[in-house]
Structure 1
Amino acid sequence: MRRSRTVSTGRGRGPAGPAARAALMGVGADVTGPGARTGPPAGPGGAPTVQELRAGDVFTMLDTSPRGLPAARARTRLDRYGANELPRPGRTRVWRQLAAQFTDLFAIVLLVASAITFVAYGLGRPRDVGTLQLAFAILGVVVLNAAIGFAQEYSAERTAESLQAMVPHTCRVLRDGERLELPARELVPGDVVWVEAGDAVSADCRVVEAHELSVDNAPLTGESNAVGRTAEPVSSGPALEARNCLFMGTEVVAGAGRAVVFATGARTEFGKIYRLAAAAPPQKTPLQRQVASMARRVAGAALAIGALLFAVRLPTGESVVSSFVFALGVMVALVPEGLPATLSVSLAIGVRRMARRHALVKRLLAVEALGSTTVICTDKTGTLTQAEMTVTRVWADGVLHAVSGVGYAPVGEVDDPAPVRELLRVAGLCCDARLVPPTGPGHWKVLGDTTEGALLVAAAKAGVDLAAAEAAAPRVTEFPFDSDRKLMTTVHRDGAGHHACVKGAPSELLARCTAVEWKGERRPLTEETRAAVVAAGDDLASQGLRVLAAARREVGGPRPAREEAESGLTLLGLVGMLDPPRPEVTDAVGACRRAGVRIVMVTGDHPLTAEAVARRVGIVLGPDPVVVTGARLDALDGDALDALLAEPSELLLCRVSPEHKMRVVTAFQRRGEVVAVTGDGANDAPALKHGDIGVAMGASGTDVAREAASMVLLDDSFASIATAVRLGRTVYQNIRKFLVYLFSHNIGELVPILAATFTGFPLVPISAVQILAIDLGSDVLPALALGAEPPEPDVMDRPPRSRREPLFSAAVVGRILFLGGIQALGVCAVFFWHIHSAGIPFDDFTKDDPVYREAITMVQAGIVVSQFFNAQAVRTDRESVLKAGLLSNPALLGAGFAGIGFMAAISYVPLLQGVFNTAPLAAGDWAVLTGLGVLPLLADEARKGWLRRHRRVALRPRAAREEVNR
């Protein structure tokens, strides 16, 4: 967008220099003619594309002139093409979002149960107030779960709005030869705009004048370096590779220029990305799919068993209403009413943990998806690296000098700086970039090309005062860098004479040198010396460094010909720089490797740069990684791409487009992989939305990337992804723990009801209202405390679980049956022992019988007490809870005691006794219940001990083999 700040270069003039600014003031004659076309960058019938035309022909093609469009024609085109903005998608209304919470299968089952209960209350004669209380209790559970879910999901993604926010608000336009500042939305094809350093580009434009113009295309292409722009025609090819075009959403980092708009709004390259992102369907996480599957099975089982028991009781003489209420109790016993709320809040605990580790999760379920990640498609710049070019080596006088320090802060030093000061002074004078010191707690930044910024920092570390050097030798002429010469030259007045400073690619500059400065003396550049320079450059390049050379010469005046200024040069030396990897990334990559997570680098940068960084951080360890460019991806069909991704080799994808990145992500997903995708630019938005979890950069990323992603890294570091994977795995383990905890007591609730049915007892051993009290009043807090269990020590040494592995694996179901069966036997024994001790026949029991009320109170209290010990049992899979520490999770102990306290209130408070039909328990009753309740803990400790011994025995032969090998 058009910046509100004023961009300054620190030299008292704009970034393009006086000549460039003066050149931009001129306007030419109207060159419009009949048959001219507007809008698209290419005409019909094979006409040349806009990038292939000369500047004058561009005006003709787009039916405009260097004076810009007449106001009337601009209004006509605005009506024809529409505003220069991206269409906003329809936002889901709040009431629809809220209504969606009631479509969950558990919610539907409970709503049906509540409706049946209301009907049963209406049909009953006399009407039972307890039935009405049950109906409202079930309805309250549904409303509570919906409120929690709605609160978590209310913040919907607004990718399109973020894309719109990236479009500049104002732009500078020529209309009828008059310079105007207009809202960017009023731009139309054919408008003539001008830009300079610090401006964002408002639409897709063809450059017709360029003065040292370079742009940052990273939001669209992912390239980390600024790229130069030219007004000359270029050959036909992909639009984003056209060096004479500017694109919406990019930023001008140096120079100035004029351009003609050829595409606006959704027809821009930025608009294409918008359409890809908008079309991406929301991805369900593995946990979402598994919870949905579990809900279907549990609901089906609840309905089937309830219907079966209704059919069994009806012939016994029970009324239809009482049979309905009985069957309803069975169904409520099977449905884990507290699960949705418990799941949401437990995931929120994971979110808070990740936030403390610089990972902001936007969607709760994305927490768990991280834990099941099998592939991470990561970009390079800013995630693996620090996005700060840094000079690390300087070669001068035949000696290599190390440079310390990282980033743009001029903090560090050059080893033996005296021999390199002249080299860095000349390189610094031949730069347009400027260092910007922090205004607060921020970092040093570079205004302009990052490569030039690195040179300025290196000069400061060597003790070169560039401000004084510029004052002593002011610039009078410049020959900007272009990709053909691969050089930049500036001419400076030095006392009574003038000299040229040149920097550029070593191969190009060395060919123009005739001498070398060696230890302060100018010597002829012999073949032997030339070979030494080439060898030094090759050595720096082999280390993954970007290498530049610097040279100088005396010239005859302030306006020499370019050929004079760039020939007969004296070589001063070489500079090697890189975007340094983040120091913490190597360990993080190693952790992901141990965890069985495959890392694939996906970047818009050059393959050699990508491989060098990948080797530095440990993504590439072998000698021959598979390096695939975007061009090769275009040549691969679906089967060939699947075969490529199926290979276990180390894979680097370079020079890729947004479509390439998205295609790779979906191809991995077809293979059953759970894919995490990182990105920072608008070009990454489609892949971020298509991935199982999109990870955006918070510090350097664009708004659109952050909005499209499920998680935002506040520190932009890959290490935070590895930490998030560890926490995600922990969340999944903890989810399984509280599922075992929640479902095991469902067995303790169901089995007594079934036993009463088949023994002919006319009443239920535990009512539906009591079950709801256990599920929501006594179980939710301990389940949440289980969700806060810390990671197990070996969580990152296990392979990622399969996407196809069910949430209720055989081990989980077996443990549920094991613990739940022990609870069920205990509460059945308590209930029937208490009933038989009264000596009253089954048929004589009524709901108001004191013995019956004591018996159902003991069943409820027995389940609550056994769950207290059960919570300690499920904290670990194999490790003894004594080793983990009974007091190491104080929140779990507090939640358990709170549940027992709530149960005591139900037993002793008269008001609650009336609601739940309970009775006070004696101290002896509590002692019996405690003895029975501790049985699941003791039994599970025995099971864990057997598993540990069995594992040790199984590992002995393996250890013996390893000892022999050693």
Structure 2
Amino acid sequence: MCAAQPEGSSQKIAGLSSEEAKRRLSEYGYNEVEERRRSVFLTVAKKFWGITPWMLEVTIALTWLLHKYVDTYVVAGLLLFNAALSLFEERRADSAVTALKQRLHIQARVKRDGEWVSLPAREVVPGDVIRLRAGDVVPADVKIVEGKLDADQSALTGESLTVSKTVDDSVYSGTIVKRGEVTCIVTATGAKTYFGRTVELVQLAKPKLHMEEVTASVVRWLLLMVALLLALGLGVSYARGVNLAQILPLTVVLLVSAIPVALPSMFNISMAVGSLELSRKGVLVTRLSASEDAATMNVLCADKTGTLTKNRLSIAEIISLNGFKEDEVAIFGALASNEADKDPIDLAFLSYVKQTSNSLGEHKILEFTPFDPTTRMTQALVSLGGDEFRVYKGAVEAVLELCHSPPSERSEVERRVQTLTEKGYRVLAVARGAEGVGYTLAGIAALSDELREDSPRLVNELSELGVSVKMLTGDALPVAQEVARKLNLTGPVEKMSALRSRGDENEYAQIVEGFHSM
């Protein structure tokens, strides 16, 4: 346990005592979503329960009654082999997942007994006072009591842009702090957090195994054929006056022959080989049938942000105004940016300038003011060749107000902004000028979350294979529609509530569970 002493008035905010924290830990439990783990006995017993094991168990009973002990031992061996192979693969995957979780273990700065200490995030309890700064992953649902920050909530909402949070605002577990420093009080931990409830929904999914459906279908058809043959044989025997008791052993043999005892073993072996091949490519399979579930899917639900896109803003278009050039607009926007803040909009302008002009030339930043939620702009005082001027970057309305743009220019800019917004772009304005002289609107820039280079190709390949791709996002509708257009995704837009009311919800649950296991 290492001490950490943040500066500021946060020292006045009292934290929990060690005794109170221990009491709350026993009341609320650890700050983690408890995995639904079965006991070893139930895990082993489950391998002998289901359509496939029942089929083999019936075969064992019938061959034993017919005194075909060799067949009994062979089928029993197959049953044990199936169970052992499945258990071995899943245990190996569990060990890998456990090791991975230990490596991803995070710490939290917590105030205990009046001192700031660093504790494992799982030991945080409701009521704890914690300190968050740039780069931290929020360990629990918290309420800000001091300071302000910009948070990346893309893992929860799909929104690529950061969200500003200040006193009395809530910040959810799993959010990443991009800028700022705050003192917070923990309001919820573990499964009670916003993120924890989402994880529990995935754990509740109980998909049907495709392998068992195929096996059951094969067995049904074989039993139907055998039943027809038995009916025909019994009818002929009865017509000839043969004692039916004499052909009972033959009847049992025919029933046993209808059970494909080696089929489950072949399925398990093929899935084990598939899991091994996937592991060589860096894919961790935690459930033996997960790869088979993924291979037989007909609908792929893919998250937009970070999966289909890079979760990184980039400049898609620049419109220069009032005699300025596009590269000048980009440079002004980059000058009003600070790479150290890791703000996605700032990084987009800086990256664009590096890719186009490679540098900011002889511009020298004398003073930089980060984004202010009240003005909705960032600004910088710049020196070039002995002359000083200011550059502004921010919301279009705020920059237009700063420049005192005439009605004609304002209406033209608003028309262009509306067009870009309908395409799903985030639009910012850039201005240049000096105090006492006035400011001139240099241009507007359209930003978007850039697609991954391989996304269009993969979506097209999946479509050719007959897999329907559905994009999941909590982003604004125009943004989602523009990404769908670029990916050539067609079909209606559906809300989650509508999906829950549909009869094929289980189809989607199977997909979620299948990929959750990989």
Q: Is the 8 A contact 1:117 1:132 kept in 2?
A: yes
Pick from 487, 490, 498 the counterpart of residue 377 of structure 2: 487
Give, in angstroms, the shift of residue 431 of structure 1.
2.4
Q: Is the 8 A contact 2:131 2:182 kept in 1?
A: yes
Q: Distance in 1 between matches of 2:100 and 2:191?
A: 11
For 1:496-515, list aligned pairs within 5 A.
499-514=389-404
The residue that corresponds to 1:605 in the other structure is: 475
Flag the 1:193–1:350 CA change in 2: closer, same or farther, 3 A.
closer
Q: Is the 8 A contact 2:309 2:449 kept in 1?
A: yes
Q: Matched residue of 2:305: which SS?
A: coil
Q: Distance in 1 between matches of 2:76 and 2:26?
A: 54
Q: Matched residue of 1:501: which SS?
A: strand
Flag the 1:90–1:468 CA change in 2: closer, same or farther, 3 A.
farther
Is 1:334 aligned to residue 317 of structure 2? no
The residue that corresponds to 1:427 in the other structure is: 333
Give, in angstroms, the shift of residue 165 of structure 1.
6.9
Pick from 90, 108, 118 the counterpart of residue 171 of structure 1: 108
Q: Distance in 1 between matches of 2:227 and 2:242?
A: 21
The sequence identity of aligned pairs, in percent, is 27
Q: Distance in 1 between matches of 2:395 and 2:294?
A: 43
Give, in angstroms, the shift of residue 70 of structure 1.
4.2
TM-score (norm 1): 0.46
Count the aligned residue pairs: 512
For 1:383-398, list aligned pairs within 5 A.
383-397=307-321
Is 1:226 aligned to residue 162 of structure 2? yes
Give, in angstroms, the shift of residue 133 of structure 1.
3.3
Is 1:100 aligned to residue 36 of structure 2? no
Q: Is the 8 A contact 2:111 2:129 kept in 1?
A: yes
Is 1:25 aligned to residue 8 of structure 2? yes
Q: Is the 8 A contact 1:665 1:691 kept in 2?
A: no
Give, in angstroms, the shift of residue 618 of structure 1.
1.4
Give, in angstroms, the shift of residue 455 of structure 1.
0.9
Pick from 560, 567, 577 the counterpart of residue 447 of structure 2: 577
Flag the 1:310–1:74 CA change in 2: closer, same or farther, 3 A.
same
Pick from 332, 344, 363 the counterpart of residue 450 of structure 1: 344
For 1:10-49, list aligned pairs within 5 A.
24-27=7-10, 29=12
Is 1:461 aligned to residue 444 of structure 2? no
Q: Is the 8 A contact 2:44 2:87 kept in 1?
A: yes
Flag the 1:612–1:141 CA change in 2: closer, same or farther, 3 A.
closer
Give, in angstroms, the shift of residue 546 of structure 1.
2.3
Q: Distance in 2 between matches of 1:695 and 1:139?
A: 29
Q: Distance in 1 between matches of 2:21 and 2:90?
A: 44
Q: Distance in 1 between matches of 2:208 and 2:498?
A: 18
Is 1:275 aligned to residue 215 of structure 2? no
Superposed CA deviations along residues 80-127 of structure 1, whole A, max 9, x for unmatched, are: 44433333433341x544443333545445444444544554xxxxxx
Q: Is the 8 A contact 2:158 2:304 kept in 1?
A: no
Question: What is the Cα-based RMSD across aligned positions, in Å?
Answer: 4.5
Q: Matched residue of 2:312: which SS?
A: coil
Q: Is the 8 A contact 2:52 2:212 kept in 1?
A: no
Flag the 1:490–1:26 CA change in 2: closer, same or farther, 3 A.
farther
Flag the 1:179–1:615 CA change in 2: closer, same or farther, 3 A.
same
The residue that corresponds to 1:379 in the other structure is: 303
Q: Is the 8 A contact 1:509 1:549 kept in 2?
A: yes
Give, in angstroms, the shift of residue 226 of structure 1.
1.7
Paired AA for residue 110 in structure 2: V
Stretches of structure 2 that go unaligned for 5 or more consecutive residues are: none
Give, in angstroms, the shift of residue 610 of structure 1.
0.9
Q: Is the 8 A contact 1:226 1:253 kept in 2?
A: yes
Q: Distance in 2 between matches of 1:90 and 1:259?
A: 33
The residue that corresponds to 2:510 in the other structure is: 691
Flag the 1:187–1:510 CA change in 2: closer, same or farther, 3 A.
same
Q: Is the 8 A contact 2:300 2:511 kept in 1?
A: no
Stretches of structure 1 that go unaligned for 5 or more consecutive residues are: 3-20, 30-65, 122-130, 234-243, 400-417, 435-446, 515-524, 557-566, 621-649, 676-689, 697-708, 712-966
Is 1:547 aligned to residue 427 of structure 2? yes
Superposed CA deviations along residues 325-354 of structure 1, whole A, max 9, x for unmatched, are: 644543343222221122334455666788
Superposed CA deviations along residues 196-215 of structure 1, whole A, max 9, x for unmatched, are: 1111112221112224x111
Q: Distance in 1 between matches of 2:79 and 2:184?
A: 60
Please tell me whether Structure 1 or Structure 2 has the larger radius of gyration of its CA atoms.
1
Is 1:475 aligned to residue 367 of structure 2? yes
Pick from 477, 490, 493 the counterpart of residue 652 of structure 1: 493
Q: Is the 8 A contact 2:154 2:305 kept in 1?
A: no
The residue that corresponds to 2:38 in the other structure is: 91
Q: Matched residue of 1:473: which SS?
A: strand
Q: Distance in 1 between matches of 2:514 and 2:58?
A: 40
Q: Distance in 1 between matches of 2:269 and 2:110?
A: 53
Q: Is the 8 A contact 2:422 2:478 kept in 1?
A: no
Q: Matched residue of 1:426: which SS?
A: helix
Flag the 1:537–1:356 CA change in 2: closer, same or farther, 3 A.
farther
Flag the 1:651–1:309 CA change in 2: closer, same or farther, 3 A.
same
Q: Is the 8 A contact 1:504 1:548 kept in 2?
A: yes
Q: Matched residue of 1:572: which SS?
A: strand
Q: Matched residue of 2:308: which SS?
A: coil
Q: Distance in 1 between matches of 2:26 and 2:517?
A: 38
For 1:656-735, list aligned pairs within 5 A.
660=496, 663-668=497-502, 670-671=503-504, 674-675=507-508, 690-694=509-513, 709-711=516-518
Q: Is the 8 A contact 1:302 1:330 kept in 2?
A: yes
Q: Distance in 2 between matches of 1:611 and 1:198?
A: 31
Q: Is the 8 A contact 2:320 2:442 kept in 1?
A: yes
Give, in angstroms, the shift of residue 545 of structure 1.
2.9
Q: Distance in 1 between matches of 2:224 and 2:92?
A: 32
For 1:82-231, list aligned pairs within 5 A.
82-93=29-40, 95-105=41-51, 107-115=53-61, 117-118=63-64, 121=67, 131-151=68-88, 169-211=106-148, 213-231=149-167
* Higher RCO structure, 1 or 2 (CA under 8 Å, sep 6+): 2
Q: Distance in 1 between matches of 2:25 and 2:82?
A: 49
Q: Is the 8 A contact 2:86 2:288 kept in 1?
A: no
Q: Distance in 2 between matches of 1:577 and 1:591?
A: 28
Q: Matched residue of 1:248: which SS?
A: coil
Q: Matched residue of 1:570: which SS?
A: strand
TM-score (norm 2): 0.80
Q: Is the 8 A contact 2:78 2:265 kept in 1?
A: no
Paired AA for residue 143 in structure 1: L
Q: Distance in 2 between matches of 1:144 and 1:163?
A: 29
Give, in angstroms, the shift of residue 389 of structure 1.
1.9
Q: Distance in 2 between matches of 1:217 and 1:116?
A: 59
Give, in angstroms, the shift of residue 284 of structure 1.
0.8
Paired AA for residue 393 in structure 2: K
Q: Is the 8 A contact 2:52 2:215 kept in 1?
A: no
Superposed CA deviations along residues 765-785 of structure 1, whole A, max 9, x for unmatched, are: xxxxxxxxxxxxxxxxxxxxx
Give, in angstroms, the shift of residue 710 of structure 1.
4.4
Flag the 1:90–1:386 CA change in 2: closer, same or farther, 3 A.
closer
Q: Matched residue of 1:68: which SS?
A: coil
Flag the 1:578–1:319 CA change in 2: closer, same or farther, 3 A.
closer
Superposed CA deviations along residues 622-677 of structure 1, whole A, max 9, x for unmatched, are: xxxxxxxxxxxxxxxxxxxxxxxxxxxx3235xx7xxx3xx555444x148844xx
Superposed CA deviations along residues 25-63 of structure 1, whole A, max 9, x for unmatched, are: 22465xxxxxxxxxxxxxxxxxxxxxxxxxxxxxxxxxx
Q: Is the 8 A contact 1:216 1:225 kept in 2?
A: yes
Flag the 1:491–1:180 CA change in 2: closer, same or farther, 3 A.
farther
